[in-house]
Amino acid sequence: MGMSKQEEEEQARLERAREVGLFRYMLIREAADPVLTTRQRGAMVRAVAAREHKGPSGEPVRLTRWTLDKWIRDWRRGGFDALVPAPRQSQPRTPPEVMELAAALKKENPARTAAQVQRILRAQSGWAPDERTIQRMFNRTGLRSLATPDQAAVFGRFEASRPNEIWTGDALHAIRVDGRKTYLFAFIDDHSRAVMAARFGFAAASPGTPTLTTAARSSMRGCCGPAPSWASSSCTASRGALKAEAK
């Protein structure tokens, strides 16, 4: 029967600790020779401390002579086992069942934040891990990317359900006529996309210039009849009138 995940993690920590102990022993074994004088040992320790070494995980490390002297004392007192660091406790600081409950709460409602999950855990059990601990778990397990149905990407556009339900009006900076700036005032039906009315005019403050209000009035006159086929031609007619006025 194979080992459980917890047993495998414990075994990996023990092996890692022994690798560290072996690394320490290889550095001090010559300097720890009892036949050496204090002066000889000091010179060897200083030489080891002056060099860069390849650590247990392959990373470059440098050590002080005080650290090396301590390892020598540990070896003399307890042998190789004294050089092996104590592995970390196998039991994590946050019980796994608490993190499983936090994950379940997030899956139940993806809109819940780490702070909200923390409050629920505290209310249920009287204790909860730190908010950052919960957030890191969300990031690590991919729960942060969960989206509620109403958060899903929406493609397309809003559209009124029937003609004349919604009109949209706006004014646009338009062409120049004989050097004078004009504006286009128009209304469009949101459902049919028909142009209900459109009028050109000069500067908005000029007397007699068409506005959204005047464009709306003309469109109201034909809103209940057939689609206003005259709407597009009105733009051309207005433009011609502006040219005549400019002359």
Q: Let me know whether 108 and 75 are in one domain.
A: no
Q: Let me know whether 181 and 242 are in one domain.
A: yes
> Tokens 């989206």 label which residue?
147
pTM of the model: 0.36
In a domain, 227, yes or no: yes
In a domain, 196, yes or no: yes
As averages over each run of 10 residues, the pLDDT of the chain (247 residues) reads: 73 86 92 92 93 83 89 92 73 71 90 90 81 87 72 58 81 78 80 80 56 58 46 40 40
User: How many structural domains is the chain composed of?
Assistant: 3
Give the pair of three-digit tokens for residue 96.
């796994």
CA–CA gap between residue 13 and residue 86 (Å, rounded): 9
Instruction: Supply the DSSP string of 47-94, one letter for each residue.
Output: HHHHS-EE-TTS-EE---HHHHHHHHHHHHHH-GGGGSPPPPPSS-SS
Q: Bridge partners of 197? A: 187
In a domain, 88, yes or no: no
pLDDT the model gives residue 242: 40
User: 157 phi and psi, to 5 degrees?
Assistant: -150, 160
Q: 35 lies in which domain range? A: 5-83
Q: Let me know whether 172 and 226 are in one domain.
A: yes
pLDDT the model gives residue 225: 46
CA–CA gap between residue 148 and residue 127 (Å, rounded): 28
pLDDT the model gives residue 41: 92
pLDDT the model gives residue 237: 39
